[in-house]
Amino acid sequence: MTKADLIAAIAKEAKIPKVSAEKALNAFTASVTKALKKGDKLTLSGCGTFSVAKRRLRTRLESGTSSVANTRQNKTTGFQHVAKPATADKILKSLKINKVSEYAIHNKLSH
C-alpha cells in the first residue's frame, strides 16, 4: 500500500476529503517522528508500539581487504505489533474519539 492508497482509504473510512485525510496522516507521521527523536515510545492501544533502539556494535569482515572493521553503533526505529489487533472501534474508544471530536478534528484540518 502506498501513501496515496492509505490517504484514499482514510478518506473513505472517515468520510472526509482526501486533502483532510492527507493533513491528518502528515500530522500523525510528524508527531510519531517528533516523539521518537526525543526518545519516547508511542503506544497505540490495540495496534502496537513505535520505539527507538540502539544497535549494538558489531564487527564485520571487509570483502576486498579481508580486514576486520567495526560497524557504527547507531539508532533504529521499530514497531512491535500486538498479538491480537483490535478493531477500529476499540481503537477509537481507547482514544476516546466520538462523533463530536471527529467533527471538530475534521473542521480544524479543513481550515
What is the number of domains present in the chain?
1
pLDDT tens, residue by residue, 87-98: 656 666 666 555
51 close to 57: Cβ distance less than 8 angstroms: no
Name the pTM for this structure.
0.59
Q: Kindly state the helix (H) or strand (E) to which residue 37 belongs, with its residue range.
A: helix 18-37
Q: What is the CATH number of the domain that holds 43?
A: 4.10.520.10
Domain of 103? 3-110
CB 103 within 8 A of CB 110: no
Give yes or no for residue 24 having a pLDDT over 50. Answer: yes
